[in-house]
Structures are given as structure tokens and as C-alpha cells.
A and B are shown apart, each in its own frame.
Chain A
Amino acid sequence: MAEKMELNEVEVWDGNYAASQALRQAQVDVVAAYPITPSTPIVENYGTYVANGYVDGEYVMAESEHGAMSACVGAAAAGGRVATATSSQGFALMVEVLYQASGMRLPIVLTVVNRALASPLNVRGDHSDMYLGRDSGWIQLDAFNAQEAYDLTLCAFKIGEDMNVRLPVMVHQDGFLTSHTAQNVHPLQDDEAYKFVGKYQPYEEMLDFSKPVTYGAQTEEDWHFEHKAKQHKALFDSREVIEKVFKEFKDLTGREYKRVESYMMDDAEVAIVALGSTVETAIVAAQQLRKEEGIKAGVVAPRVFRPFPFDEIREALKGVKAATILDRSAPMGAMGALFNEITTAMYTTPHRPILNGYIYGLGGRDFAVNEAKRIFKEAKANADAGYLTTPIQQFSGVRGPKLGFFETKRG
């Protein structure tokens, strides 16, 4: 048996440490990983637990992220709990296997510390890697701070391994802003955490020789479509289990998670929709604007990026006149990915708020409270005018001439 760790009621952990503690407490059977900035400390911390007897599972240091995720797939098919961590280029290298893991319905947990994608090479946080995974068939949970990185990692095992889900789950946190920023974290004690996550239930496992299984079969035009349609349905159907697990977590800890988080939205006239640590920046901006200028500002943040919470988004934004969607990834000839999802959700409601998008914070460029306030005020101007006064897509915080794309017709 692995040694238990005595934790304080409040610990000072950064996002990486929080995630690695959650992996330890979940008593993962196989962690197969390859280090990459800024997620490296997750793997290093875990290695320290292994070296000191706090883990009795296997720890496989692969030769690349592709090899790491491939070993995770082999391990998961062999009927046990599996997890790993990565960022950016490592995530990109894993992509081939991400699709294979979800296609084989293997509940692997991947903690992703979001970082920009080269070129130019950049180690800082943006959401390029997170967006790269959005069609890979994984559930994607988004943590906005270290506490959430810990909480959601524990929830991830329980969601993915649920017999009605059996899908892999990513838990995202922002590189450096969350991963390397020490904050107060309220952990569970080891027994409590493991009891919440629960014992791993093997299903169609390769180590049960009474029932041989074939993983990774070939299908062409005769069966591929049915497999993919079923997988898509399973992903959408996981919403119920996600909510159930969030409720169980709230009952245990008092900390409440929803598929879409809303802040000050009850009477909000304008909103910012964002992901990651930016959510907290936007909340501060909204609080200040309410106090200073009486602008009824609110913040909406998808906690679950996949399956995308279209239903909850409609509900969260139903009362606003205007909303601005922030995307922290280079859209490269399109609208931002979050902008696209939000506009899709809102277009199909009778009430269509005025929506625009900002690209911001690429490669770790700072996004400060004042900039969020400016964006809120712009949304307020749109709300007052009753039409979009700016291009649909703009850039925040980039040098050079002002960038903006696509106008809407007045009114």
C-alpha cells in the first residue's frame, strides 16, 4: 500500500502541484508521461511521490508525448486507472493518439496546462492547444485557478470512468497564470478523495483472458460512421453524468461547479464570455464597473468546453443585450472557436443578443482588468446603440495598426 500524505486544511499550491496531488489521491494505476513546459512539474511532483512511496502504481517515463499517450491507451485497455499531463507541442504530438483513445472509449485523464503553439516558439499560456483538442472526442473541463485544477481533476476520473460515459477527459488550466501561481487550495484528505473518485471498474479489459477483446479494429464506409455517431452521442449524453458528479462533489466539499458558470448575470445587460484565468479578470472588471459606473456587467464561462454546453449557454445569456466573446487562440482565417460556439447557441434562440469577438492574450500576452473594462464598455455602447458599432472580430493588446474583420449592417 502506498503511504498516505497528511494534508493541511488549507495548502498553498500552484495549479501544477494541485493537479499532481489529485493524481496521487486518485491512486492512478499507470501514469505514462513526457515532461514539457509548463506542465513539467505535474510529472516531476508525481515522480517525487513515486520515489517516496506515496504511489504504488506504475510510472512510465516515455520517449515522447506520442509514446506517452500510446502507453496510456495500452494501459487503459488493460483495465486500470490511467492519467498523464502535457502542454502545447506535446499536446500537438499526442493528437493522433487522442482520437484513438476516445474512439476506443478509454477513460484516460489528461491534465493539460495550456500553452501557445509554435511557430514562433513560445512557452507561455494561451488556448491554442486546448482548441486543437476540441474535435478529438475527449470531455474537456476548464479550471480557472489552482483550486479548480485540483477539484476538476478528481471529478474527471469519476466522470470519464462512469459506466454511462467511458470517455477520456482533459482538465485544462492556464500555463503559468494558473500552473505556476501559488494560491490557497483546500484539499481533501487522501481517504476522502479516493472514496469520492471510487475504485476503478474494469470494462472489456485485455487482462481478463476468459473474454478476449480486440481493441482498435478497422472499419471503412460500412461501419465507421455508426461508430463515430455513437461516440458523438456518448459525448453529448455525458452531460448528465457531469452534472451528477459536480453535485456529489458539492455535497462533499461545498464547492459548486456547473457546466456553465455565471457571475453577476441575474440582471446583467452586457457580458463577457471567456475561458481560463481570464474569467477571474473579467469578474473583477465587472465588479468595478458596476460600482464605478453602474454598468450591469456579468461574466459567463463554459466550465465544460466539450461537450459544449449549448443549452446552458442559451440560458446564461438569455437576458443580455450584448456580449463579447474572448478567444485566446489565433483563429487563422476564421472567427474564434468560442465565438463560433456561442453565436451558434444564441442564433438558435428567439432572443439574439449583439455579439462580437476579441482575440487576446496570445503567447501569454497579459490581459488586464482595465482592458476587460474597456471591452465591457464597448459592449454597453453596442447595447445602447442596438447594433454592433465595431467589426465583428477585433484584437486586444496587439501592437501595430488596429485589426478588425467583418462589419455588420447597422440595425
Chain B
Amino acid sequence: MAITNIKNLKEFSTANERLEGAHLLCPGCAHSMIVRELMNCTDDNLVIATNTGCLEVSTAVYPYTSWDTSWIHIGFENAASAISGAEAMYKARKRKGTLKDPDAPVKFVAFGGDGSTYDIGFQWLSGAVERGHDFTYICLDNENYANTGGQRSSATPIGASTSTAKAGRVSYGKKERKKDMVAIMAAHGAPYVAQLSPNKWKSMAKGFQKALETEGPCFINTVSACTTEWKFDPKDTIAITDLATDSLMFPIYEIINGTELNILYRPKNIIPVEEYLAAQGRYKHLFKPENRHVIDMIQKEVNEKWEYLQRREEARV
């Protein structure tokens, strides 16, 4: 049974298991926490499409599969189109009366990493949301192409060192800012858009449930700490994620119908971004004196974004 009214973590851990544990994700990878939470927060049947990436290569290596539900992977960029097609087929067959079990409730979900969501699959996602298919797209945002050795994506934050945007003698790593995918998807007029985090598992499950219940295209960006490429100890995934949400590097919020913004988590003690950065190898070089200005810049931008989100929430527009 799914846990539809979540009270505590112990109870939640007894939820039905629809992603088999025997997958090949790295120890400490947050992807499986997020995916399991999505799959366990509903009793409805699930049709899931997944872009090429860590999740896909780790869960469907022939002759095995970790997916105890209908699942499809086509390419790196097109899970949103695949789920559009499946959802259209469901509608057509329901109308024509050719479904085996026409009354079974079905939800359509697509997963993609930030590489496939922010970069290569951006157009496919935009098209599917514009067409208004009834599905939920979940981005597992680990801020790099982790499946292929940690190359930069447009979700990689400024100042991070990646294998294609390296920190070196004359470089502080990635020079460009992270794309604001949540704002872009809200601008599509999607009925439900959110940024959620697995350390705040209760709000994440609620957000997932809200997206699944909402008719139309929903987009959720989830923070997925990457032990391999962010360079931290696998046991610290949730601790690092706590630093991410408490430093407001990853604010947790939702946007309803493109306008109504609600902040879902307000840290009691906001910590400096420096603490979050210092806990990860990918930002190590920022602590050289010549790169101090980058940390200051990141802090300034995080403050500004938090101010912006609060004002948007207040304004209700």
C-alpha cells in the first residue's frame, strides 16, 4: 500500500516497493530516494518514461529490470515525448473501449536528469508541456552529466569544477549561471511546478501527490546530491542536502498555475553558502584566496533569489 497520509518516516518506510532495490546506482545516490518516494506515494498504476542517464542505465540492464511497473526509455532527450504518446494512447483507447482494465487509475510520469531536462531534452519537454498532456515530469537535478563522468550542464552552478568546465590555474570552474528551469516551466503555464528535496521527504511526497492529482502537465525539479561528482562521502547524502536547503542554494517552493508561489520550507537558521560549498570537492578551489569573490557572488545571488521568492509569495502574482 502507498502511504497517502504520511505521518512519520518509519511508517513511510513500509510503503509498497515499486523500484526494486537491486539496481546499479552509486551508494549514496539520491536518485533512488526520489524515485522510490514518487512510486510509493500513490497506489495508482504508473507508466514511467525515463531519459537516458544515471537512473536509466542503472535500473534496466537486460535481462534485469528494477521497475515493477510499465516503463520505457527511448533516448537521452525524449522521455517527455514518449510519455505524451503513451498518454495520448491511453485517451484514445479509453474512448474506443480497448483497454484491458478501463477503470484502473493510471498516472503518467517522466524522469530525466538535469542534462536531459535543462539541455538536450529541453525542446521535447517544452513541447509536451505546451500540448497539455496529463503527466508529471520529474527532473533529478544533480547539476552535471554524472552518467558520463561529470561534464557541465546548464544546471551546473557557477564556480563548480566539472570535467568540461574545470577549475585550474586560470579558471574558477564553470563561468555561467545555472538556468532557472523552475521559472521557465512556470512560464509555460503548467498548473503545478515545484522544486523539492529528498531531505524534506514529507513536503516532497506531498508535492509529488499534488502533481499526480493535478490534471495537466506538472514539472518538479528535485535536488539530487551526487556523491561521485559533487565529491562527498556516500553516507553524507542527506547531510549535504540539508546544507543545500538550509543555505537556500536550493529553496523549496511551488508555483501554481504559473503565478501563485508558495515557499514550502523556511530554514530556522539560514546557513552561509560557504558551509554548503566547503562540504563538497567540486567547490574546493573556491577556497583559494583568489577565488573568494566567487563565493561572495554566489552568496549575494542566493540572497537576492530568496528575497525575490519571498516577495513573489507575498504578492500572490
Contact = CB atoms under 8 A, between A and B. Distances in A.
B42 interface: no
Contact of B127 (A63, A73, A78, A79): A63
A60 interface: yes
Interface stretch (A39-47, A181-189, A211-219, A300-308): A211-219
Residue among B45, B81, B84 with the highest chain A CB neighbour number at 10 A: B81
Interface in B69-114: 69-75, 77-78, 81-86, 88-93, 95-96, 98-101, 104, 106
B85 A78 contact: yes
Residue among B47, B82, B89, B130 with the highest chain A CB neighbour number at 10 A: B89
Interface string A21-40: 00000000110100000000
A32 B74 CA distance: 16
A218 B77 CA distance: 16
Contacts of B88: 30, 32, 58, 60, 71, 75
A207 B65 contact: no
A159 interface: no
B124 A212 contact: no
B74 A97 contact: yes
B57 A218 contact: yes
B143 interface: no
Nearest to A100: B74
A70 B85 contact: yes
Contacts of B70: 206-207, 209, 212-213
A120 B282 CA distance: 46
Contacts of B67: 212, 214
A60 B124 CA distance: 13
A369 interface: no
Interface residues of B, number: 48
Contact of B62 (A62, A74, A82, A219): A219
Nearest to A67: B81
B104 A209 contact: yes
A80 B93 contact: yes
B89 A58 contact: yes
Residue among B82, B99, B101, B123 with the highest chain A CB neighbour number at 10 A: B82
A406 interface: no
Given A32-B88, A71-B84, A77-B86, A218 B47 contact: no
Nearest to B56: A218
Interface in A53-100: 56-58, 60-64, 66-68, 70-80, 82, 96-97, 100
B302 interface: no
A96 B120 CA distance: 14
B289 interface: no
Interface in A196-215: 200, 202, 206-210, 212-215
A399 to B, nearest CB: 40
A30 B89 contact: yes
B127 A223 contact: no
B288 to A, nearest CB: 41
Contact of A216 (B68, B72, B81, B83): B72
Residue among A78, A100, A216 with the highest chain B CB neighbour number at 10 A: A78
Given A216-B74, A218-B56, 15 more contacts: A60-B85, A67-B84, A70-B78, A70-B81, A74-B83, A74-B86, A75-B88, A76-B89, A79-B93, A82-B85, A97-B74, A206-B86, A209-B106, A212-B70, A217-B61
5 contacts: A66-B81, A70-B74, A71-B88, A74-B84, A207-B93
Interface of A: 29-30, 32, 56-58, 60-64, 66-68, 70-80, 82, 96-97, 100, 200, 202, 206-210, 212-219, 223, 227
- Closest CB pairs A-B (n = 6): A74-B85, A63-B127, A74-B82, A70-B81, A75-B85, A71-B85
